[in-house]
Chain A
Amino acid sequence: CTDELDQKPISSATTLTFYQSNNDFLQGINSVYASLSGYPDRQLNLSETRSDNLYAVSDGGVRDWEGVNSFHPTLATNPYISEAWSANYSGIFKANTFLDQLAKNGAVITDATLKPRFEAEARYLRAMYYFDLVRWFGKVPLIDKVVSQNEALAIPRSSVADVYKLIISDLQFATQNLPATYTTANVGRATNNAAKSLLALVYMTRSGATYNIEGAGLGVNEWALAYSLLNEVISSGKYSLLPTYPSIFSYTNENNAEVIFDVQFISGGLGLGTTFPVVLAPDTYFTANGLPNQTLTIRPISNDLLNSYATADTRRAFSILSGYTNNGVQETRSFFKKYIDLTKYGKSRTDWPINFITMRYADVLMMKAECILQGGGGTQDEAVTIVNSIRKRAGLGNITSLTLPQLMEERRKEFAGEGTRWHDLVRSGLVEKTITAWIPVEDVLKQMKAFKTDYILYPIPQSELDVKSGLYTQNNGY
């Protein structure tokens, strides 16, 4: 009769009954990908919104993005920042669980090629999550296996160099063990080129300016390592620039030749859609167009960005919408409409179906140009050629020489609204100068704080500091 006290959950599996077959492991690795779902919004909230691309300082003090955009020092309790910490560590936990189980029970996987691929996929994702963390927070606790609560309470923030060590070793394993392509049903899984591109960006970020903070840049000068990886990706011949800018982001042209890695979404009310196309757009734009409310109020594009486009630049009209009327009220401010196709609205505001490209071929090419300018190899002419190929597509004329600020300015428009701007400014060493010059010009409402290099990193979420006093120390400036 006391057997009845051993009740097993009816509507869920348990760790004791799982990881017993190919399919269980397949589901296990898929769940590690699922933690990518917050990645796009996060890049928009923490990178795009932090940067000089947006001027979204005040909306009556109710929006979480206001302090991000205006450099408030009180961000430690900001939900965007806790999300960045928690979603990445959740992904890392899933990857670690999967890798532990693979080591323990991997023998049940009958397909010999599958096991190394699974391991490589998990390590690629773990590296991506740690890289996201290190760019936002600098030093973070380094955990590469499933740990108990008590173990975690004894793991402080590791040095940035140590975090990179794990990222690099994971990505190196991934470059060697991931396939170059997948069957149609598996499109969206990490490929070896995705791993190489990401590893290149990791080397470049590590090589970036240090600003005298314990941030993502270590000034290590690994531009050459990145340069050669990028060349491998380019010479693989698997990718090319699409002829027109809009076709890259077309809802009917996903997984196109420019996509190296993306976060995949579908609509249909399955909980697998996304909000990123609309997070920077105002709610009234949707109501004006007969759709249910999608978001909150507008996060206006800065005058600085608007003015930086050359008249001929076709990317502006595709990326940005300036002005519309809703219910007789005229909205004169501009916003990013790049990813919005009003006809592709899914079952709800969280159900947009478009994938978010985290690494595209244009990025790889321009990263190569950046490596060249930073002395990692190649010639200035090669870099100029690369940028001209990008400019040509945008309807712009050729340039004949290229400086790093020029390259970054070109990136700003090529990747506008894609969540790269802050990372680009930080990596290139331009952030302090750029933002300091920008604030007094843009901030007519006088809402912004003076910029400090400490603000290159975000604060550790207050909730994490509260767990155990002294376990983590807060970043400077917060």
Chain B
Amino acid sequence: QDRVITGLVTDGVSGSGIPGVSILLKNSARGVTSDASGNFKIAVADENGVLVFSSVGYTTQQVSINSRSIINIALSPDTKSLDEVVVVGYGTQKKANVTGSMANFNAKDLDQRPVARVDQALIGQLAGVSVKQTSGTPGKGFSVQVRGSGSISASNEPLYVIDGFPLETSGQNASGGFSTGNPLDNLNPNDIENIQVLKDASSAAIYGSRAANGVVLITTKKGQDSKAKISLNVYSGITKATRMLDMLNAEEWIDRATEMINAQWVASGTGRTASQTTAERRAILKLAGTAVNTSLMLDDRWTQEGHPGLTYIDWQKEAFRTGMVKNYQLSASGGNANVKYYVSGNLLNQDGTTLNTFYKNYSARANVEVKANEKLKFGINLAPSYSEANDPGIEGKDAIIHIVAGMTPVQEANAGLDANTGAFPSYAWSVSRNSPIRQLENNVGLTKNFRTLFSTYVDYELLKGLTFRSSINFDNTDASTKRYSPDWVNGSQTARLNTPGISTSGSFSTLRKQTIVNENTLSYNTTIAKDHDLSTVIGYAYNLTKLATSTMSSAGGFNSSTITTLNAAASVTGNTNETQNVLLSYFGRVQYGFKGKYLLSASLRRDGSSRFGDNNKWGLFPSASVGWRLSEEDFMKNVSAVSELKLRASWGQAGNYNIGDYSSIATLGFANYTFGAAQVGGQSPNRISNPDLTWEKSQTIDVGVDVGFLKNRFTAAFDYYTKKNTDLLLNVPVPLATGFATSLTNIGEVLNQGWEFELTSRNINQGAFQWTTSVNLSHNENKVVHLAPGDAQIYIPSSFDIPHSVLKVGDPMYAFYVVKMTGILSQADIDNKVALYGTQTAGDPKYFDANNDGKIDANDRVYAGKPNPDLIYGITNTLKYKGFDLSVLVQGQTGGSVYSLFGRAVDRTGQGYTDNALGIYRNRWRSAENPGEGLRGKAYSTFGRIKNTDWLWSSDYWRIRNITVGYDLGKIVSKKYLQGARIYATAENWFGADQYKGGWNPDAINTNLSGDASFPQGGDYGGLPLARSIIFGVNLTF
């Protein structure tokens, strides 16, 4: 006969209920958890049994039942958190003993946020970790940087390690994508238990040649020794664009077009005046019948009542829509003494905020661990996933959203959104672009990605404390991308009618990436004479990554108007490419602690990589750190307010090996030619060999302090670091007379210095009301210290006009150097012979003559800003009251700039009238009497254009990334049916502001600005706004 015991678990200090306490009947499989108020109810058979109460942050207590039916208990906070362990490279460590700099993100609640990717979840959570959403299309990878960017040309993305499996690193390319896939692709955020970021070299250096950009350790959920817990989480909601770009509306466009056409007309010959009518102008130009010259003549309908035959279109309004997101996750976890399991299935379905964009991810995971006997354990983690993402080609130069912004807002009424598609021609006064809406609807850019992550391991305890572990890990990605754009949304009307199919284009590309990692470690943990804690690990790892890509593209159009596959192409060109690399590693670490007071850790790794030159295949990566827990000293024991005080210092060296697989070898490229009207093969060296080529080295010195006050009610950590990247893999400009523009050399030095501050405060912890605030702040300064011998500055080549970025000793990397726009030229300025660019006249912008030589040219470029922010921050507030909970995450950055080449499309001096212009032109200079705001000059200007501060915008922003309100239904629904039930509503990204008026997203990267692989510089040339969403969800546990 079971008896039911009820009770309340409270915090021994504050007296408030503790939710989520595990209550186990000792020596049985029975267990329950306390509800949101701390109440519990457990059925026991034995009235003399013992209940075990445990909860993270509290000391575990055992209580004998002694025939009682009500047991109220107060748990004392575990101020030392001694047993809390954190994941480190190749092992775990007591949190109290950590001497390196790490940041931890408890990801358990991620399943209640509409977060499609793991990287997205990291935004604003960790000091020193900057996460940028560089694309607004669903499913795309984010850019993650730990402690600034230290590499000029190699990747700045961290190494990701998932359950001990180091995934192949991959850098974001200058077009904002990850050409060989992002390590976090397809990973289901709902399966993540915890994310740990190793920031300093002492914690990261055990990952050697891949650790220079930090290491992100991801731990997935595991089964516990308890009865099965089945959990269903369902959420659904809507998404919208955070904002629109302020462009001129149709009336304003007509106003500007009229002004410009009239000005051109007047300038085009003597005796021509703006007041001449269209008919008069036609006569003067000797044009026949109804012919028009749109540079010199107006459309009479503009000024007619109701503009008959014309329609006004807000193209942005047509391109954007309300998207939706749905997610279903079912998981089961549990186990017994011998087998523990976590099994989950997840379906995410997301429709983007622009037409025809979506991301779907189907994923499953099984983490199973089997204890064969007291010494032997086996485990297997298996995570297959399949995703589909459609991107019709939205972001970047000449892509759809660029055209949406620039498209003429006045069109013929009969064509409307069909402008210049199908049988409709362009409106004569419009840009000749095809309707971006029809392109958006009909273009295909479908990426299908089937990825399997598989790990299996065996643990064998050779002796007490001495464990051997071997694992085999396999990551297989098979992705394909199909692109298709039909004829009828391309080309000109005449082409569509006369040569149908010629403008249809299609391609199909595939990517297979395979990483195989075998790791073998021997670890030994012991305590000698009570006071000496020793923990060591040594190991060997083998790492092989193979990449095979193929691409096929149509050439010369399609022969069918309905078939979208390449069998219908007029002809097909294609190729395949394969590369692989091998990394061999030996590594070891010793951690020593004396009385939990004096802590010491040292590690060493030796990596050999096939990527590097024959003379430098192997490298050594040492690190060391010390810690002193003052709070354990006798003299501190009396200071009761201080519950934790630890000083840390560390030094270490890590590497960056992201330079491509064969960069040290002089390879030959194909340079074919034609003789006798037939192709002949040609090959010549496309690189000079560099047998000395080796990794970038990154040395970090970090000092930090961890403090806790009032029994850890307030905890804080502060770190100061300097990170010196040397032997940079720099494409040093060399005289082109060598045959090459640059040569990849280990040279140059970049310094990142900064501080990080993390604070967690339990502001209120009284009874039913709890309020916790977490703050993280980080500041980073980045500076080029050395470049090639002589330290000559390097102008970053630009695909668009003169360079606007420079690598210069003493300046931040990729600092912006442009001409300064200082106002608008007046006639007095011209008469006073101020410096001019080209044939400037009154009403044109005025520029700063930096070198004072009386003329404006490229030599007047001055430092104007830098891409990286000075300060990034995230603040999370969590409030709980009875069954309700509320959390708010605010995140932002200040101090950085964006130089937007998108300005070239919508904001350039001398821009023609057809392209629409930014709203800032509303208040342009119109005449000396009507000078506008002084930000933009007159519409009709012919002096040309030089890169200047017009396109420089602050990248500062703040966003309320997340607001979640939840309610625990535990009080309403009987425990008989449900262990737990919670409903919640989340607003993601709903509020915020930025200062970027020249585009939609200050973090956007979608266009390769340098066009030069040596100096990858991505920038914004039309990137989507971020999505904001409101979702509702329910979380049921059985």
Chain A interfacial positions (CB closer than 8 Å to B): 1-2, 4-16, 18, 24, 26-37, 58, 60-62, 66, 72-74, 76-77, 85-86, 89-90, 92-94, 96-98, 140-141, 143, 146-149, 152-153, 155, 182, 184-189, 254-255, 264-266, 268-272, 283-284, 287-293, 325-330, 332, 346-348, 351, 445-447, 461-464, 466-469, 471
Contacts and interface: CB of A to CB of B under 8 A. Distances in A.
Contact of B944 (A2, A61, A283): A61
B793 to A, nearest CB: 7
Given A14-B666, A141-B735, A266 B802 contact: no
Contact of A272 (B493, B672, B802): B672
A445 B675 contact: no
Interface of B: 267, 287, 290-294, 425-426, 428, 432, 490-499, 502-503, 542, 544, 555-556, 570-571, 573, 576-582, 584, 608-610, 614, 617, 661-662, 665-669, 671-685, 688-689, 732-741, 743, 745, 790, 792-795, 797, 801-803, 838-839, 857-858, 904, 908-912, 942-945
Given A288-B494, A463-B797, A468-B792, 9 more contacts: A5-B584, A86-B741, A92-B737, A149-B738, A272-B673, A290-B498, A327-B432, A445-B942, A446-B839
A76 B857 CA distance: 11
B212 to A, nearest CB: 20
A288 to B, nearest CB: 6
A72 B858 CA distance: 12
A253 B573 CA distance: 27
A24 B685 CA distance: 12
Contact of A15 (B498, B668, B738): B668
A290 B494 contact: yes
A33 B839 contact: no
A471 B908 contact: no
Contact of A327 (B428, B673, B741): B428
A263 to B, nearest CB: 9
Contacts of A155: 735, 737
Listed from nearest, the 9 A-B pairs whose CB atoms lie closest are: A93-B739, A269-B555, A287-B492, A61-B944, A290-B498, A30-B682, A31-B682, A347-B555, A31-B684
B758 to A, nearest CB: 41
A62 B945 contact: yes
Contacts of A18: 668, 683
B790 A468 contact: yes
Nearest to B662: A9
Given A89-B737, A149-B738, A31 B671 contact: yes
B838 A72 contact: yes
Nearest to A355: B674
A26 B794 CA distance: 38
Contacts of A6: 610, 614
Contacts of A29: 682
Contacts of A14: 665-668, 689
Given A15-B689, A32-B684, A85 B666 contact: no
Nearest to B269: A444
A147 B671 contact: no
Given A61-B944, A467-B792, A329 B571 contact: no
A305 B9 CA distance: 97
B499 A34 contact: no
A186 B734 CA distance: 36
A7 B673 contact: no
A187 B677 CA distance: 8
Contacts of A462: 795, 858
A468 B795 CA distance: 12
Nearest to B578: A10
A61 B909 contact: yes
A330 B292 contact: yes
Nearest to B491: A292
A291 B737 contact: no
A95 to B, nearest CB: 10
Contacts of A147: 737-738
Contact of A12 (B668, B673, B675, B912): B668
Contacts of B675: 30, 182, 185-189, 264
Given A15-B689, A330-B287, A149 B734 contact: yes
Nearest to B609: A5
B908 A62 contact: yes
Contacts of A15: 666-668, 685, 689
Contacts of A27: 681-683
Contacts of B291: 325, 328, 330
B944 A33 contact: no
A292 B672 contact: no
Contact of B685 (A97, A266, A290): A97
Nearest to B291: A330
Residue of B490, B665, B944 with most chain A CB atoms under a 10 A cut-off: B944
Contacts of B608: 2, 5
Contacts of B733: 463, 466-467
B683 A266 contact: no
Nearest to A353: B677
6 contacts: A5-B610, A6-B610, A155-B735, A188-B675, A293-B491, A463-B736
A187 B676 contact: yes
Contacts of B496: 290
A90 B493 contact: no
Contact of B556 (A96, A187, A284, A346): A346
A346 B910 CA distance: 34
A152 B735 contact: yes
A332 B296 CA distance: 12
A287 B494 contact: yes
Given A77-B803, A292-B503, A254 B494 contact: no
Nearest to B295: A329
Contacts of B294: 329
Contacts of A348: 555-556
A244 to B, nearest CB: 22
Contacts of A141: 735, 737
A268 B672 contact: no
A32 B555 CA distance: 27
A188 B676 contact: yes
A292 B495 contact: yes
A33 B682 contact: yes
B735 to A, nearest CB: 4
A28 B683 contact: yes
B858 A284 contact: no
Nearest to B743: A149
A325 B292 CA distance: 10
Contacts of A187: 675-676
Contact of B737 (A24, A28, A152, A182): A152
A469 B790 contact: yes
Given A7-B582, A327-B492, A93 B432 contact: no
Given A61-B945, A185-B678, A467-B735, A327 B666 contact: no
Nearest to A13: B668
Contacts of A73: 857
Contacts of B681: 27, 30
Contacts of A12: 662, 667-669
A307 to B, nearest CB: 18
Contacts of B662: 7-9, 12
Contacts of A76: 858
Contact of A466 (B432, B542, B689, B794): B794
B610 A7 contact: yes
Nearest to A185: B676
Nearest to A141: B737
Contacts of B577: 11
A146 B910 CA distance: 46
B492 A153 contact: no
A254 B677 CA distance: 9
A18 B666 CA distance: 11
A92 B584 CA distance: 41
B583 to A, nearest CB: 9
Contacts of B581: 7
B96 to A, nearest CB: 40
Nearest to A188: B675
